[in-house]
Chain A
Amino acid sequence: MTDIIKRPGGAMANRPLHFFWLADCSGSMYGEKIEQLNYAIRNAIKPMQDVAADNPNAQVMVRAIKFSTGAQWHIAAATPVEEFKWDNLTANGVTDMGLALQLAAEQLDVSQMPERCLPPVLVLVSDGQPTDDFNAGLAALMSKPWGKKSVRIGIGIGSDVDLEVLQKFIGNPEVKPLQANNAEDLVKYIRWASTVVLQAASAPASQVKDQVSTGVVPIPQAPTASDIDADDVW
């Protein structure tokens, strides 16, 4: 028997959610750190796809920017999360974080974005200090309505990271940058950003008391870091 259509209409209407990775590929990331970041992001793909599949309110599109000496698109086309793949990054050069924000800002211009969207999500991962004009980059981002409305998460790798810069990027005193002191934390944080935060930006889960209440969307509590160990690899 051929399948008869049982009920009319289409799938429930939803909105695009644009998700941007901004990854530090400067020389200090060379070696273990960049490989751990590659691993952590690859590890987060499936959970991210699962969360998206379980969320009828959003159509998740992924892009990625890499920055070292200059900033480039690592994934330039907004890619449906179901087709999202991660090519490994390599590291060398300085930390032009400001340029990365400029690049994101161009794509968050109203002329580049669909008319109706969910808040974009920007996840910035870095292990150091910007070497270029970070403030100019941030200003460019915040000058765009979609930039201002974006949900921004900052993840620091190791102890040399400039948490103040990440905090400025986040722009919400109630959401703290996450500091990953080992590979395990990094996996946890990247996964959290690509699942829990993604979900919060489109279809916030049950509202519990521990949620941060201000900002574009409520951000659930981040996972706790495993105990900091002096012998950690980095």
Chain B
Amino acid sequence: MSTLLQSEQIIYGDLTQQSYTIDTFLGAGTQGEVYRAHANDKAVAIKWYFPHYIQNDQQLHQRLENAIRKGSPDNNFLWPLELVTQPNNAGFGYVMPLRAANFKSIVDLMRRRAEPSFYALISACLQLSESFLQLHAKGLCYRDINFNNVFFDPDTGDILICDNDNVDVNGATGAINGTPRFMAPELVRGDAPPNTESDLFSLSILLFYMLMLHHPLEGKKEASIRCFDQSAMNRLYGTEPLFIFDPQDSSNAPVVGLHDNALVYWALYPQFLRDVFTRAFTTGIKDQHGRIRENEWRVILINLRDSLFYCRCGGQNFYDADTVKNCWACNKALIYPPRLRINNTVVMLNHDTKLYAHHTDQSQKFNFSTPQAAVNRHPQDPNRWGLQNLSNNAWTITLPDNSVKIVDPQRSVNLAAGISINFGNITAEICV
């Protein structure tokens, strides 16, 4: 039910003087209502503020103007494009891109109404880290990372970040402190205002939620609380925050029957992911300097995605150099595909694995634009698997007997143990 604007109503863009026609009501939040609208043939979303919210947030207008002037950090933000007003109405709003229907909310992920593969889920986490890196690099602070502000495509892992009207220059005083369960402990206690470092804490919480479907601080302490009220939340997330997998202190460990997701997923992921979450929620909980930065998340999440492989049942599992596990889906012993060891990381060579410049070129970290190599089958002998050179440069390979061969573009090298591939400035070894 909309209360502020009616369909067919026309409002005007401050920047372009365009007239936007309101189509339908999309939803309401705490600050205002969002409508679908169009200008010419282009569909957009318009957020129109509640009068009482405008009164309470004196900086809103200026903040939006700044955001519009600065422009979106990258394509993953539903960023304000221009302010909109209406004659004889003191209120205002802003135009932003419309979110497509294939995007689902993180709430859908938590309630299991959206079921991405691990691959897509990790890709979504990776995109989130990259987009917040872009935002923070611009000197901006998001302030309100939470379930309701991030959307993702369960098929591809593409993400969209909305609610960008609280974004402000890092350090500015603003109207929003964050959302309970996502706020850094120093914010919950009221010791500090939101800043980039508290954003990083919220990002860690969101990533943990997405990967584990559970909150990293909800263990025994949560279980012992009968009524989960404000003072309980202040304790759990503010004054006594304790990681459920703290290696030094098990007093907040997950409880079987209540916190099963945490137990299931923690055991499933490789040690390097557990290590980084442990740092995020031990040293990173007390000390703002201990927070995991987006660049580290990017590296970890790419490694995590590279460690995925398929069980025969189709279930996606993670390679963990230190432990042998059974498949989580069928409980049978896992059979590893060939792997590529690149420096100290491992890329599983699945039937559908592709390598990018990120993997093959030292100077192009995080470049995933075009595949440089792909696992393929020998055209005559389907039992023979290879790695095809999709780059423009020849590779030099060294066989176990130390003989050297050249793999020209489009040619493939056998996935056989002990072969090392020199891509140019990176050398990798095939293991089986």
Contact = CB atoms under 8 A, between A and B. Distances in A.
Contact of A119 (B115, B175, B228): B228
Interface in B242-292: 258-261, 264-265, 268
Contacts of B166: 206
A145 B227 contact: yes
A54 B110 CA distance: 10
B179 to A, nearest CB: 5
Given A208-B56, A221-B52, A146 B179 contact: no
A55 B107 contact: yes
B229 A216 contact: yes
Interface stretch (B93-101, B116-124, B125-133, B299-307): B116-124
B36 interface: no
Interface centre among A9, A196, A210 (most CB of B within 10 A): A9
B343 interface: no
Interface residues of B, number: 56
A233 interface: no
Report the interface size class on chain A.
Answer: 35 or more
A207 B261 contact: no
A198 to B, nearest CB: 13
- State the main secondary structure of chain A at its contact with B: loop
- State the main secondary structure of chain B at its contact with A: loop
A230 interface: no
B329 interface: yes
A206 B52 contact: no
Contacts of A145: 226-227
Interface stretch (A10-18, A86-94, A175-183): A10-18
A12 B56 CA distance: 34
A43 B1 CA distance: 9
Given A119-B228, A221-B52, A10 B261 contact: yes
B1 A47 contact: yes
B39 to A, nearest CB: 28
A203 B118 contact: no
A220 to B, nearest CB: 6
A11 B31 CA distance: 29
A207 B177 CA distance: 5
A4 B179 contact: no
B245 to A, nearest CB: 16
A216 B229 CA distance: 6
A225 interface: no
Contacts of A11: 110-112, 213
B95 to A, nearest CB: 21
Contacts of A224: 52
B181 A203 contact: yes
A10 B260 contact: yes
Contacts of B121: 7
Contacts of A7: 115-118, 121, 316
Given A207-B176, A208-B176, A209-B56, A146 B315 contact: no
Interface string A102-132: 0000000000000111110000000000000
Interface string B197-231: 00000000000010001100010000101111110
B82 interface: no
Contacts of A206: 30, 144, 146, 166, 176-179
Given A117-B227, A191-B1, A203-B180, A8 B268 contact: yes
B30 A220 contact: yes
A149 B110 contact: no
B230 to A, nearest CB: 5
A204 interface: yes
Contact of A117 (B53, B144, B214, B226): B226
A118 B110 contact: no
A27 interface: no
B328 interface: yes
A13 B116 CA distance: 19
7 A-B pairs with least C-beta separation: A56-B110, A12-B110, A9-B261, A207-B177, A149-B227, A210-B56, A9-B264
Interface of A: 4-13, 15, 43, 47, 53-57, 115-119, 145-146, 149, 188, 191, 196, 203-210, 215-218, 220-221, 224
Given A13-B260, A208-B30, A220-B30, 16 more contacts: A5-B329, A6-B115, A6-B316, A8-B264, A9-B264, A9-B265, A12-B209, A56-B107, A56-B147, A57-B181, A119-B227, A188-B3, A204-B179, A206-B146, A206-B177, A207-B180
Interface of B: 1, 3, 29-31, 52-53, 56-57, 105, 107, 110-112, 115-118, 121, 144, 146-148, 166, 175-181, 183, 209, 213-214, 218, 223, 225-230, 258-261, 264-265, 268, 313-316, 328-329
